[in-house]
Amino acid sequence: MVSEGYGRDRKARLLTDRTGVPRLEGAGPAVAVVGGGIAGLAAATVLTERGVRVTLLERESDLGGRLAGWQVQLADGSSATMTRGFHAFFRQYYNLRALLRRTDPGLHGLTALPDYPLRNSAGMLDSFARVPRTPPLNALGFVALSPTFGRRDLLAMNPRSALPLLDVRVPGIHQRLDGISAHDFLSRIGFPAAARHLAFEVFSRSFFADPRELSAAELALMFHVYFLGSSEGLLFDVPREPFPQALWEPLGDYLQERGATVRTASPVESVAPNPDGTVGVEAAGRTRTYDAVVLATDVPGLRQVAAASPDLVDRTWRENVAGLRTAPPFLVSRLWLDRPVHPDRPAFLGTSGYDALDNISVLNRWEGEAHRWSLRTGGCVVELHAYAVPPGADRKEVQERLVSQLHRVYPETRDAGVVDCRHEWREDCPLFEVGGYDRRPRVRTADPAVVVAGDMVATGLPVALMERAATSGFLAANVLLRRWGVRAEPLRTVPERGRSAVLRALTALLAEK
């Protein structure tokens, strides 16, 4: 039986499966988990805890997926951990936090940042620190406090077009808005240009996508998750140390201590179903047989496996996987500077209107490794992001423009010497394109021995980004556990529709007119 209810503060919807044995005894089924990012680690953790014999196969030499890290040697002779950039651990990431609590029950490895400031090149600054957290006061408070919403702007907006934002329902929001882009949807509502660029475009670009290509359903879902569906708002935590040390190395140890096999630098070439219902997984030139497989790769990895596996699931599934797109390239530039930025600079700043620059992080304000380097040298560690870079752009030129925009936002950096720098280009994030929802993979497939996890998966729940990855990993594990009569992992999400009865009533009233 599935029991549905709310936590003590009614913030979250709790999905708890109370059926099945708590854990398998003896030699349980064997499962290959393909991919060691958040989704794969979530699936592997739940399965291992329930007595399943798990083999985790990760293509790269380190765990963490798109939050992995690796060692680099700086020009001053010191060692540092380079990553693929800043990630905010929002308070609504219930399932991701449940995963991290396996090795850090109190989540002491995370630290809170005081605000999520957004700065426009015209000089306007939005802040979420003083915005109320309870719906609908949070959305109304943001509008009241934001310098980008004037009285004329509010009067010019089209309330009827804004109805989908006021009462988001999952998964119905994709049926309503998947056929329009985020850019066109906001234009239809009549959002003031400054507010659209400063707030909503920042959200849409967190998907590493141009708002003209991003499905409006995903934007509306984000609005629900962070505003009208939850009370946690846009305040977030960050790891106190680089991702590998803070998160993934402890979780890898946790898995191995409980009997899982973790194989890094082990790319999977193909997956083949066997007549007896098992699957053969080929990795490193050798095929091993498992009772089931969790495909928890990124989009390029899933496409590669599907293309090399002619009998995997069915033709329609493989064709849909082949059609999955990745978002445009993005750039992470990290600079080790020989002097600090001004002490009043925020640890993280979202930007709009500064050419390709999307945000600036001052890592030594929260990350221990960067802080220790700063104390030792008197400098600072600054990280710049550029999302959705045009594919044909000259990369060196983009890197130079990004640094020039840093000088524009924080002028004191113009005179700073660059001790070292790293420019990391990637193009492997999923693109939630207009009209693409129905073609996205689900956790279940036509083959009961094959399940899928990852932030590209359509879960049917109000989750996004890292939380979608963690949730899909738990869901994939639960599908397999139910096959074997084992108790599933509880899932927690924000409510699947807007929490405010007032806004729901207003939506119904406007819809009738």
3-state secondary structure 478-492: HHHHHHCCECCCCEE
Give CA–CA dist 304/440, Å, rounded. Answer: 16
- Which is it for strands 330-337 and 292-295: parallel, antiparallel or unpaired? unpaired
Contact of 264 with 256, CB cutoff 8 Å: no
Residue 89: name the closest of 270, 267, 348 by CA.
348
> What backbone torsions phi and psi does residue 21 show, to the nearest 5 degrees?
-75, 150
Residue 10 pLDDT: 42
Q: Give, in order, the Cα–Cα distances in Å from 372 to each of 366, 384, 418.
A: 11, 20, 17
Q: Chain centroid to CA 288: how far?
A: 31
Residues 6+ apart with CB under 8 A from 12: 6, 94, 230, 492, 493, 494, 495
Transcribe 465-476 into DSSP letters. HHHHHHHHHHHH
Residue 9 pLDDT: 37
Contact of 51 with 24, CB cutoff 8 Å: yes
- Which is it for strands 110-112 and 236-239: parallel, antiparallel or unpaired? antiparallel
Residue located via tokens 């039986």: 1
Residue 199 pLDDT: 56
Angle (deg, nearest 10), helices 38-49 and 249-257: 20
Q: Give, in order, the Cα–Cα distances in Å from 204 to each of 62, 154, 216, 247, 342.
A: 29, 22, 9, 26, 29
Give CA–CA dist 155/190, Å, rounded. Answer: 10
Angle (deg, nearest 10), helices 299-307 and 315-322: 140
Instruction: Give me 351's structure tokens.
Output: 């930007």
- pLDDT tens digits, the chain, 513 residues: what are they? 232 233 333 456 667 667 888 889 888 899 999 999 999 999 999 999 999 999 999 999 999 999 999 999 999 999 999 999 999 999 999 999 999 999 999 999 999 999 888 888 888 777 777 766 676 666 666 666 666 666 666 666 777 777 777 778 888 999 999 999 988 988 888 877 666 665 565 666 677 888 889 999 998 898 888 877 787 877 899 999 999 999 999 999 999 999 999 999 999 999 999 999 999 999 988 999 999 999 999 999 999 999 999 999 999 999 999 999 999 999 999 999 999 999 999 999 999 889 999 999 999 999 999 999 999 999 999 999 999 999 999 999 999 999 999 999 999 999 999 999 999 999 999 999 999 999 999 999 999 999 999 999 999 999 999 999 999 999 999 999 999 999 999 999 998 876 555 555 555 555 555
* Class in CATH terms, 71-89+110-114+327-426: alpha beta
> What backbone torsions phi and psi does residue 68 show, to the nearest 5 degrees?
-75, 170
Q: Chain centroid to CA 17: how far?
A: 25
Give CA–CA dist 357/384, Å, rounded. Answer: 7
Supply the DSSP symbol for 340. P
Contact of 205 with 357, CB cutoff 8 Å: no
Residue 232 pLDDT: 83
Residue 3 pLDDT: 29
Residue 183 pLDDT: 86
Residue 233: name the closest of 432, 385, 38, 11 by CA.
11
Residue 149 pLDDT: 63
pTM equals: 0.92
What is the CATH code for 17-66+242-324+432-489?
A: 3.50.50.60
Give CA–CA dist 159/143, Å, rounded. Answer: 14
Strand partners, 328: none
